[in-house]
Amino acid sequence: MIDRYTIKMIRRPLQSAAALPDKIGITANQVTITGFLLGLLVLPALAFQQYDWALAFILINRLFDGLDGAIARKQGITDCGGFLDITLDFLFYSMVPFGFVLADPGANAVAGAFLIFAFIGTGSSFLSFAIMASKLNIENLVYKQKSLYYIGGLTEGTETIACFILFCLLPQHFSTIAWIFGSLCWVTTATRIWAGYQTLRD
């Protein structure tokens, strides 16, 4: 819902940060993969209830995710880079609630499963429309810098990151937050399906 605003806020700092990697020949795809590999450390951190470390790795992963896009805009956006970025993003997003399930299966399993279920809804509706939009050459005037059509919703990247931060700061309330955020994700899925269907039908 607020990605269009946060993207504008962080664009200039990320462009500045991308200058050095671009200058020394580091590619956007290398940054994407490195960020994902560092993000994998979230899973053991959560499993062993090291929530401060988990939060640090979440923030590092998201920083690399923003940096790879800034580098790609300097070097040229590619289809393979966009594919790699979105695929690893969704894997990372589902890994975080799974980590909380491992931390406390008794208290977190059902809520964690519900949130991952909700992520399937947001992810599939997002990617399905992106495929159709690409096929029909439909452009999003708000997110022109994206490598694929970026259909918005109530829960986007910024809200998801904020949710993960809350998880780490308030791990004892994971279930409550997961149920609430998962429900909001289903609102996003429903609106995306409706908007996408109407757009493609017309």
Output DSSP code: residue 171.
G
The pLDDT assigned to 150 comes to 56
- By percentage, how much of the chain surpasses pLDDT 70? 92
> Per residue in 7-23, pLDDT tens?
778 888 888 888 898 88
What pLDDT score was predicted for residue 79?
86
Asked whether residue 2 carries a pLDDT value surpassing 80, the answer given is no
CATH number, domain at 52?
1.20.120.1760
3-state helix, strand, coil in the chain (%, to 5): 80, 0, 20
Residues designated catalytic = 89
Residue with tokens 């990617």, as numbered in its chain: 127
Examine the pLDDT at 146 and tell me if it is beyond 60: no
Is 54 within 8 Å of 99 (Cβ atoms)?
A: yes
Tally of domains within the chain? 1
**pLDDT 10s digits, 46-104:** 999 999 999 999 999 999 999 998 999 899 888 899 899 999 999 999 999 999 999 99
> Residue 45 belongs to what domain range?
3-201
Q: Concatenated DSSP letters for 140-165? A: -SS-TTSSS-----SS-HHHHHHHHH
| Whole-number Å distance between alpha carbons of 192 and 151 | 7
What confidence tens digit (pLDDT) does each residue in 187-196 have? 999 999 998 8
- CA torsion through residues 29, 86, 148, 140, sign: negative
* Mean pLDDT estimate for the chain: 89
Q: pLDDT at residue 112 above 70?
A: yes
Neighbours of 87 (CB within 10 A): 13
Q: What was the pLDDT predicted at 140?
A: 59
pLDDT of residue 141: 43
Least reliable range by pLDDT among 62-71, 101-110, 133-142, 172-181? 133-142
State if pTM tops 0.85.
Answer: yes
Q: How confident is the model at residue 147 (pLDDT cuts 50, 70, 90)?
A: very low
> Using only C-alpha atoms, what is the Rg of the chain?
17
